[in-house]
Amino acid sequence: MEKISEEESKAVDVMERESKLELKNAELIKAMEVKDEEFKKILNEKNEELKHLEDMNSVLCVKTIQSNLEIQEAYEELLSGMRDLSGEASTIRVKRIGQVDDKPFVKVFEKLFSDKVIQLEQAAMLVSKWEDELSDPAWYPFKLVGTGDTLKEIVDDDDEKLKNLSEEFGEDVKNAVKIALEELNKFNPSGRYVVPMLWNFEHGRKATLKEGISHMTQQIRGLKRKRT
């Protein structure tokens, strides 16, 4: 038998290694292809799940909008009914948020004029002037106080217009305007116009829908008892 030279032996060894390497590469490529298919399958499943969630979210958004519209319609109906049924002594009744209280204005002009008609006319004119001021977005008599979580916006008592109002007509008149400003800034800051709202006058806050319905039910029952 012919003896294999050292060079030939090395060549055979290299060929065997190359063959093994090619086999390993083929196995690796096949494994990667399998993994790629598995990944694509998982990705497709996740995409289907995401699409399903997006569809569900769209349905929920539509239902939420519909519910909000229905609640708003019910609220408007309740406001209308409360105007007819609730008297000035009612705990729950409609309050015009941001409306300037004219009583302090009338008191001022009672001291200036003896004629009742003139008193009311002058008070109404001044109230109207300040309601126009309140609706002017260019006038922003607020300042920030506190820091961090305690940071809040309040009416700036040093505002030039408010200071002049106080000096000319007194603190009560200024406070009436200040209260209207606070209400508008809290409940209708983007519009700065008067809005009707169910109000709990006992606790000095916005009434809940439940409180409004309960109060209206009591009013209706009271009317029925009077008729029988």
In a domain, 13, yes or no: no
In a domain, 54, yes or no: no
In a domain, 116, yes or no: yes
In a domain, 222, yes or no: yes
Number of domains in the chain: 1
- Burial class of residue 106 (count of CB atoms within 10 Å of its CB; 0-12, 13-18, 19+): middle
The amino acid that residue 214 corresponds to is S
* Three-state SS at 219: helix
- Burial class of residue 195 (count of CB atoms within 10 Å of its CB; 0-12, 13-18, 19+): middle
CA–CA–CA angle 143, 147, 153 (5° rounding): 25
In a domain, 62, yes or no: no
At residue 121, φ and ψ (nearest 5 deg) are -65, -45
Q: At what angle do helices 103-112 and 116-134 cross, to 10 degrees?
A: 140
Nearest by Cα to 207 from 221, 192, 196, 194: 196
What predicted TM-score, i.e. pTM, was given to this entire model? 0.64
Q: At what angle do helices 6-85 and 209-227 cross, to 10 degrees?
A: 30
In a domain, 80, yes or no: no
- Per the listing, tokens 């019910």 go with 74
Residue-range definition of the domain harbouring residue 177: 90-227
Q: What is the pLDDT along the chain (228 residues), one digit of tens a residue?
A: 455 566 666 666 767 777 777 777 777 777 777 777 777 787 788 788 888 777 777 777 777 777 677 677 777 777 877 777 767 778 888 889 999 999 999 999 999 999 999 999 999 999 999 999 999 989 999 999 988 888 889 999 999 999 999 999 999 999 999 999 999 999 988 888 899 998 998 998 988 888 888 888 887 787 767 766
Tokens read off for 77: 């109906």
Q: How far is CA 93 from CA 9, 27, 206, in A?
A: 105, 81, 10
